[in-house]
């Protein structure tokens, strides 16, 4: 019996292996190729950053110049921020506590977009320094026990504390049904989906949160209890991320405390990969910005970095960033203003970290460096701290403009911009699209290596690896007809050539067939376990890394299609004849962009392909779309516009 089972398993394994391997071209594990390539490109960018940083330490003047350049880069990185509107702030409730009170606050950051918060006010006759407290990714946000205790400890030590709910958390869930129920599980998924749509429009969830926090400071400065010259910001985890971005942009804060966040972007992206969407801003690597640079932009303001030695946040990256900061502060002559406090715990703003944070703030705002001890503190239930009566802004305000709705409105607002782009001189338009894609159109030597053959439906396919300097090796299968070649049919798929070879009709007379796996498809598809399903995208880590370095996957794949065309034009058997590209899935968007630059493509047949980016804005919950993102594309053109620019190619969509 055991022998029969073993024989069966062996036969099954052989059958499965045979089904996989006939079309395999690469003789190595290609599933890491794309990520390896992107990491290498990122490393080069950060090598340049390291050189610039090192040179900045040669003199105080060079350090100041480096800080100025970083500030300019950060401002450019965040790009288009929504316009602020009237605060229309409301105090919707007050909770009296021992020595302080909590006010429930609602204000607007942009028109009809509401932010919920809690204001902790100590009993005091004079104006007090204030602290903006930014929350991490806990669903209950401002009501999280550690955040309540941080705010209470601040209040009991002479600080006004303003705890702001981020987008997608607590009362500010953006994607809800008519009953106010969240359409996603958890804030990290919603952040990521909203960020996808935002990137298409040249903004980000990080930018939206930055605006909410800046307007929160605007509100804080209207309060008679607050000393406007003494403002600090601090935050934990995702709140630590908000803290470093805020520190780089808003000069009104005078002290900064990030907790359980500061590390090395380079190390993180090369190892664990991108976190959720609110932490990622496209082109950060292209601008040579490390995490430490956001705090360097605020130098020489007092900065305390809080860390857990056993945090999942890379502690070595934390040490690396703090080392950068200490060098900058030493060059400026203020080494005493930068400090690291590490506790032997994990992620979060625990009691020892809270105590150290309040002590640090008292040192700079009260000239008092005495050790702070946290007494037993009583926190309140989540429901007691809600600022809305319905426990959600979408239910409390019938005209609420969520991030999702604003992005849809931005698409409409950009219609005139897209129209103007369509009227540009074709040469200017081509340069602009090339820049958006970061497309390398320079002529490069091409090498084609034959590594085998496979017989499919009576046709002999050559297995080839196509190489160009600076590109990922491209695995392709090529078959030639027995008689004269009249047409070349190139086939592409999101899933790779394996899914096509047995299903596509390859019997058309006089047709040469090319099946290719573009980067991240087929043989080079990323392992599923490398992409957390909560991000709704099977190529999330590579799509985010590509945006980080300023080379979106659409651009990278369009380059590879152009390489295929270069192979065709260099081959005596294949050139010059009519070329048709057939695609299955959203890989067709890359084919469209390649066709825009290469007029020899006479026909595009796009199966199951996105027809307009507006579909993403209207249907944010659809999966596997991050690889389609081109940062700020919708200010310039949509997919129908791109098709309209091409007079030489027939484009057909098929369901």
CATH number of the domain to which 296 belongs: 3.40.50.1820
What's the confidence (pLDDT) of residue 501? 92
| 392 and 431 both lie in a single domain | no
| 100 and 249 both lie in a single domain | yes
Q: How far apart are the first and last CA of the chain?
A: 49
Quote the CA–CA distance of 209 and 109 in Å, as a whole number: 10
Of 336, 366, 398, the last residue of a domain is 398
| 232 and 351 both lie in a single domain | yes
What's the confidence (pLDDT) of residue 636? 98
In a domain, 18, yes or no: no
Q: What angle do CA 243, 246, 251 make, to 5 degrees?
A: 130
Q: What is the dihedral of CA 134, 136, 138, 139, to 10 degrees?
A: 60
User: Contact, 118 vs 102, CB < 8 A?
Assistant: yes
In a domain, 450, yes or no: yes
Q: Which two tokens mark 247? A: 């520190």
Quote the CA–CA distance of 622 and 639 in Å, as a whole number: 18
Quote the CA–CA distance of 213 and 161 in Å, as a whole number: 13
Q: Which whole-number Å values give the CA distances from 595 to 199, 359, 365, 634, 645, in the listed order?
A: 24, 61, 61, 19, 10
| 475 and 578 both lie in a single domain | yes
Residue 570 structural domain: 421-654
In a domain, 61, yes or no: no
In a domain, 550, yes or no: yes
What is the torsional sign of CA 405, 410, 413, 415?
Answer: negative
| 212 and 181 both lie in a single domain | yes
Q: How many domains does the chain have?
A: 2
| 650 and 611 both lie in a single domain | yes
Contacts 24+ apart (CB under 8 A), 405-412: 406/82, 406/110, 406/113, 407/194, 407/197, 407/198, 407/200, 407/201, 407/617, 408/617, 408/618, 410/201, 410/203, 410/634, 411/201, 411/613, 411/614, 411/617, 411/634
User: Contact, 364 vs 254, CB < 8 A?
Assistant: yes
What's the confidence (pLDDT) of residue 574? 80
List helix spans (H) across 522-602.
540-549, 553-570, 588-597
Place of tokens 């596997």: 624
| 374 and 468 both lie in a single domain | no
| 319 and 435 both lie in a single domain | no
Place of tokens 């090395």: 264
What's the confidence (pLDDT) of residue 4? 54
| 475 and 380 both lie in a single domain | no
What's the confidence (pLDDT) of residue 12? 39
In a domain, 15, yes or no: no
In a domain, 29, yes or no: no
In a domain, 55, yes or no: no
Of 345, 363, 398, the last residue of a domain is 398
Of 366, 398, 430, the last residue of a domain is 398
Q: Which two tokens mark 398? A: 């019938």
| 391 and 503 both lie in a single domain | no
pLDDT by 10-residue block (mean), the chain, 655 residues: 47 42 92 97 98 98 98 94 94 98 98 98 97 97 98 98 98 96 94 98 97 98 98 98 98 98 97 94 98 98 98 97 98 98 98 98 98 98 97 97 97 98 97 97 91 94 95 96 91 96 92 97 96 96 98 98 94 84 98 97 97 97 97 98 96 96
| 532 and 387 both lie in a single domain | no
List helix spans (H) across 457-552.
498-501, 540-549
Instruction: Report the residue count for the chain.
Output: 655
**pTM of structure:** 0.95
| 391 and 449 both lie in a single domain | no
In a domain, 438, yes or no: yes
């Amino acid at each position: 019996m055991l022998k029969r089972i073993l024989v069966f398993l062996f036969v099954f394994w052989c059958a499965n292996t045979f089904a996989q391997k006939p079309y395999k071209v690469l003789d190595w594990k290609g599933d890491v190729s794309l990520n390896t390539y992107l990491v290498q490109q990122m490393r080069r960018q950060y090598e340049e950053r390291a050189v610039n940083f090192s040179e900045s330490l040669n003199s105080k003047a060079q350090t100041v110049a480096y800080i100025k350049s970083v500030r300019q880069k950060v401002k450019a990185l965040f790009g288009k921020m929504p316009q602020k509107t009237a605060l229309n702030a409301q105090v919707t409730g007050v909770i009296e506590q021992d020595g302080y009170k909590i006010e429930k606050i609602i204000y607007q950051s942009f028109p009809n977009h509401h932010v919920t918060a809690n204001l902790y006010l100590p009993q005091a006759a004079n104006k007090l320094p204030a602290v903006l407290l930014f929350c991490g990714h806990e669903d209950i946000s401002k009501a999280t026990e550690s955040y309540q205790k941080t705010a209470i400890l601040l209040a009991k030590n002479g600080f006004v504390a303003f705890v702001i709910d981020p987008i997608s958390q607590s009362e500010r869930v953006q994607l809800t049904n008519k009953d106010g129920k969240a359409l996603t599980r958890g804030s990290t998924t919603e952040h990521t989906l909203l960020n996808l749509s935002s990137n298409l429009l040249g903004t980000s969830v990080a930018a939206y949160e930055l605006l909410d926090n800046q307007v929160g400071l605007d509100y804080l400065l209207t309060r008679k209890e607050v000393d406007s010259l003494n403002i600090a910001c601090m935050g934990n985890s995702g709140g630590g991320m908000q803290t470093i971005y805020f520190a780089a942009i808003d000069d009104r804060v005078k002290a900064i405390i990030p907790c359980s966040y500061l590390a090395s972007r380079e190390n993180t992206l090369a190892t664990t990969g991108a976190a959720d969407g609110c932490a990622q801003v496209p082109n950060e690597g292209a601008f040579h910005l490390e995490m430490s640079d956001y705090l360097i932009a605020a130098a020489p303001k007092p900065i305390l970095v809080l860390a857990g030695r056993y945090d999942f946040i890379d502690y070595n990256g934390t040490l690396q960033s703090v080392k950068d900061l200490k060098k900058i502060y030493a060059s400026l002559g203020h080494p005493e203003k930068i400090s690291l406090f590490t506790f032997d715990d994990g992620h979060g703003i625990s009691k020892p970290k809270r105590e150290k944070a309040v002590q640090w703030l008292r040192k700079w705002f009260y000239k008092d460096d005495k050790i702070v001890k946290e007494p037993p503190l009583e926190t309140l239930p989540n429901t007691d701290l809600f600022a809305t009566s319905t426990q959600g802004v979408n239910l409390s305000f019938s005209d609420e403009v969520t991030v999702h709705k604003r992005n849809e409105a931005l698409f409409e607002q950009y219609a005139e911009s897209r129209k103007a782009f369509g009227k540009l001189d074709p040469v200017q338009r081509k340069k602009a699209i090339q820049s958006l894609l970061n497309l390398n159109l320079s002529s490069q030597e091409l090498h084609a290596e034959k590594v085998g053959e496979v017989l499919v439906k009576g046709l002999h396919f050559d297995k080839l690896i196509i190489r160009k300097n600076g590109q990922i090796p491209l695995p392709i299968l090529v078959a030639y007809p027995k008689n004269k070649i009249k047409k070349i049919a190139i086939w592409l798929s999101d899933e790779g050539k394996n899914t096509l070879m047995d299903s596509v009709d390859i019997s058309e007379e006089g047709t040469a067939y090319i099946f290719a796996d573009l980067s991240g498809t087929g043989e080079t598809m990323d392992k599923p376990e490398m992409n957390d399903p909560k991000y709704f995208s099977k190529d999330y880590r590579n799509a985010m890394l590509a945006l980080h370095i300023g080379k979106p996957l659409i651009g990278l794949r369009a380059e590879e299609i152009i390489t295929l065309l270069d192979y065709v034009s260099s081959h005596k058997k294949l050139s010059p004849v009519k070329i048709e590209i057939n695609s299955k899935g959203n890989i067709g968007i890359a084919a469209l962009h390649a066709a825009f630059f290469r007029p020899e493509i006479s026909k595009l047949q796009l199966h199951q392909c996105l027809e307009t980016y507006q579909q993403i804005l209207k249907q944010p919950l659809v999966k596997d779309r991050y690889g389609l993102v081109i940062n700020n594309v919708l200010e310039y053109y949509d997919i129908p516009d791109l098709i309209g620019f091409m007079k030489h190619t027939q484009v057909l969509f098929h369901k």
